[in-house]
Structure 1
């Protein structure tokens, strides 16, 4: 799918999706059953009320043949019974509403948990293709829509069915002629609902699609607001958002227009049916064929009969949204893990740290090779640096080593074991990665170093922070190690975030350390602290470093020069300078001003 584009589901109702949705409700079938029985009792009480009023009118209030005292006594008894019925119905209804809402929340809780856990299992290539806003929509908006379906549609579906059949039975038992008159407009209702269903189906799915676009756009541009303001593109971005916002507005208005036509149409049909009922029922009362209480009961039942029909439009809206949301959620849940663990993994409990790339070929899209026949060996404890122009394949090597992507050809070995034959978690617990753009989570300093690993104690945190020179700035913070960290660590400098990343890496004590531009964009004073921390951090660890600043890698055991996905040169800093090849040219470009100045002096 292209950026911010999603498929609009063609089917108005998919039985397979509904069956799958019902499987989430299966563990709570007893609660749903109790709620259904409760609804049945409440419905029975609703059907009983017009009957009691009819009896009060015809037997006591409008009956001249009964003594006044007996009439008052009869009305009193019916009134008390009526009060008892509505009180009991209220208590039962309260219980069933609470129960069904509790069940719905539990179902959605489990579904959200499943979605998030599934997202964590997906490879990075999936997140390369899907905007964050879209994924957030899945976990929040779409699951909320499903909650409405579970609590409003499924539960009240029983209620509506009971009411409709109960009212039909009650009407027929009272008077067949008036029952047929009351049901005479049913064909109009069926036709109206059919047309509404046809028109509404696409509208509700379009609303969900365009809502996802808005969320994706907002997520990206709020995260990148600094760039938007730096390059003065606010007006352009406002125009882009205006178009996306207008599309969402149009979709909602289309949805509302369809609903605005349907609901008044049902009101007209109801009024027409009521008029017919009063016309024929009134004539029967005048001709003494029926009593007034019977007509009252029919008017009351007719109102109750149309209420579920009115509600169906709202429930159909919810069902349409739920179908669209469920489809998108299941598409996400059905997305397979591209990077799979082997069925019979090789244990990787402890490693020496030897890394070997053997004739590795890799492409992100299966067409354009990012790495071409790359082979190299990093012995335990060695530091190897990769240099080269942007797009040469340096960062890809890091991603492949951690198995965020799988190679198409060749092998990547750790201590002689192909990394595809071990569990991803077993592999990654031995690799510590420090990126140029350090990601910090909302929380405090300690939680960002520990990352929820309960085996890392507070003393461990203090020790590693001191070791990598982070302790001195942490102690100056208002609450020291308990100081709050905002989203992405925006209140900390780049150097401070980098030192925290070093502390985090050291706290997990990996055998292999990966540094991706770890000293870029750092002020001179902080760089000295970072360089000192790096010496401590890399001691006794196999280290792979990527750097544009050649001064940071001159003491590496081996420097590998990449160009257009291939290894062109390999050796120490001095060996590569003597070759006067690509590395020499890069060195001259970076230090020509210093060299010219040195010659001048």
Structure 2
């Protein structure tokens, strides 16, 4: 199982802490047995016979104080050691979960809402940490219950067995709670995930929400989900209030009444020492109190089981990003690209690309054009290894693309998307992308190459200017220029442009077109074109429709055919027949 590694890491992290926590719990149980016995001895041996001297009183008081201090120390160490172990274990699980998310393929993220993923990484892992505290409660409770019962049995076996008779009722309550509450907690977790999804969606789409006055609809949808979550929380509180502490306290009260009644009956026929009654009732309390804590922890247990199952569904997910073949070691040198009869389906069933074949020789530009949904971006996605293609071959420099290590492909293929994502940081860090091997001088030269230096040098701090979330302070054209510089600075052999100028105004486009020509020099370029006027000089233009290549040729050749490309170009430019 994929999550076994997580369990192993967690086990290694917790092992030392748990070992010492067990020792502390055992010592704590011993002190809890010793303290009532100490008072029993003092009461029965000295107070009853009125033989206690000042020295004896102070001696017992000192021993009791010393035992109380030891008890506090053991409680601290068991709680501290276990809490630290669980926190380190949580860190390991969260790290494994984060690493797993970055191994998963794009298909997983296409099918899973971002808010749900965030909920699993944050809320569910935090709940899993609480789950480990259940183990501590069980550990402490087990020592306390066993030690208390053994001591009661030594004092009076019949009355101890009478107390033990309440245990089946307790076990039945635990079974019923576990059976009922697991459904409630699973439903509650699902609703919390939906709540996070709604919140994430509303934040990401706040501009559209405000533009189209969708605030009321979004608020109502959020309120509906919030109310459903409240109902599941209410159900959880109801079952916890009924079946946790109250049931234990009730059984404890009955057991205490039974014990006092038994000692009362015994006192009618024989002398019963007050110290024995005190010690026995204290042991009864020590027998039931840990069970109260264990029952209270059952809510965390059920919540942790549900949260853990949701986490392990991610850790067990085998839908990894496409990987290179074992032992892949090819080096990309020239940049020749060839598709041979490639077919592809996002869901593995319904093909988006059908029998795609073309060749882009080193230094050539191949442009992909077509209506929305024609398959242009899908060609980019399979070539960039975001998705695994189905049938056919993709070759680079006449070598199967799977023979290249992923790091080699990422270093030699430069991608510029239509929407440029920018990170918190500075302009320089967004161009460098935290690659310390790229110098400041290289950053400036890359910016100058794409003519992004014109606006960067006007910023306060220039290349050290702060970038807020998503680069919101920049225009779409400025963000795209930074994205161009980010790609150029790595000096890729293959350049991939996914409608890279679609969000750039005409004036800015004119500024960077010359830069794009220079970028393409000596590089193989695959470009998805939104504006056909930008690809007139392409060596090959592929016209796609419904995943098929329906036309191919140069700009002039396609115009001469008077086919789909001709119609598209005429529509954009207003060219007459």
Shorter-chain TM-score range: over 0.9
Kept in 1: contact 2:413–2:492 (CA 8 A): yes
Kindly indicate whether residue 169 of structure 2 is the aligned counterpart of residue 183 of structure 1. Answer: no
Match of 1:253 in 2: 234
Q: SS of 1:513's equivalent?
A: strand
Kindly indicate whether residue 216 of structure 2 is the aligned counterpart of residue 235 of structure 1. Answer: yes
Match of 1:174 in 2: 155
Match of 2:435 in 1: 453
Relative to the length of structure 2, the TM-score reads 0.94
Shift of 1:287: 5.7
Q: Which of 88, 99, 120 is residue 117 of structure 1 equivalent to? A: 99
Cα deviations by residue, 1:318-342 (Å, 9 ceiling, x for unpaired):
2212221222222211111444434
CA distance in 1, matches of 2:100, 2:81: 29
Shift of 1:63: 2.7
Kindly indicate whether residue 188 of structure 2 is the aligned counterpart of residue 202 of structure 1. Answer: no
* Gaps in structure 2 of 5+ consecutive residues: none
Q: SS of 2:340's equivalent?
A: strand
Q: 1:331 to 1:518 in 2, by over 3 A?
A: same
Match of 1:7 in 2: none
Match of 2:70 in 1: 88
Q: 1:384 to 1:18 in 2, by over 3 A?
A: closer
Kindly indicate whether residue 473 of structure 2 is the aligned counterpart of residue 491 of structure 1. Answer: yes
Match of 1:314 in 2: 296
> How many corresponding residue pairs?
576
Kept in 2: contact 1:61–1:75 (CA 8 A): no
Cα deviations by residue, 1:388-435 (Å, 9 ceiling, x for unpaired):
111111111110111111222211110101112332232222111100
Q: Which of 59, 62, 69 is residue 45 of structure 2 equivalent to? A: 59
Match of 1:129 in 2: 111
Shift of 1:198: 1.9
CA distance in 2, matches of 1:75, 1:22: 53
Kept in 2: contact 1:359–1:373 (CA 8 A): yes
Match of 1:32 in 2: 18
Kept in 2: contact 1:361–1:371 (CA 8 A): yes
Cα deviations by residue, 1:187-243 (Å, 9 ceiling, x for unpaired):
322222222222212111221122112112222221112122222222222222222
Kept in 1: contact 2:21–2:82 (CA 8 A): yes
Q: 1:153 to 1:16 in 2, by over 3 A?
A: farther
Q: 1:391 to 1:421 in 2, by over 3 A?
A: same
Shift of 1:19: 11
Match of 1:556 in 2: 538
CA distance in 2, matches of 1:482, 1:295: 77
Q: Which of 41, 45, 52 is residue 27 of structure 2 equivalent to? A: 41
Relative to the length of structure 1, the TM-score reads 0.91
Kept in 1: contact 2:428–2:443 (CA 8 A): yes
Q: SS of 2:357's equivalent?
A: strand
Kept in 2: contact 1:341–1:421 (CA 8 A): no
Kept in 1: contact 2:367–2:526 (CA 8 A): yes
Cα deviations by residue, 1:372-398 (Å, 9 ceiling, x for unpaired):
111111111111211111111111111
Cα deviations by residue, 1:346-396 (Å, 9 ceiling, x for unpaired):
423332011111111122223332111111111111112111111111111
Q: SS of 2:342's equivalent?
A: strand
Q: 1:553 to 1:19 in 2, by over 3 A?
A: closer
Shift of 1:286: 6.6
Match of 1:102 in 2: 84
Shift of 1:343: 4.4
Instruction: Report the aligned-residue RMSD.
Output: 2.3
> Greater shift after overlay, 223-232 or 182-191?
182-191
Match of 1:145 in 2: 127
CA distance in 2, matches of 1:442, 1:208: 31
Q: SS of 1:121's equivalent?
A: coil
CA distance in 2, matches of 1:393, 1:117: 31
Kept in 2: contact 1:341–1:422 (CA 8 A): no
Match of 2:259 in 1: 277
Q: Which of 315, 329, 333 is residue 311 of structure 2 equivalent to? A: 329
Q: Which of 277, 282, 300 is residue 295 of structure 1 equivalent to? A: 277
> Greater shift after overlay, 355-364 or 519-528?
519-528
Match of 1:357 in 2: 339
CA distance in 1, matches of 2:8, 2:285: 32
Shift of 1:585: 0.5
Match of 2:517 in 1: 535
Shift of 1:472: 2.6
Kept in 1: contact 2:106–2:321 (CA 8 A): no
> Greater shift after overlay, 23-32 or 409-418?
23-32
Matches of residues 351-500 of structure 1 in structure 2 within 5 Å?
Answer: 351-500=333-482
Shift of 1:62: 3.4
Q: 1:568 to 1:110 in 2, by over 3 A?
A: same
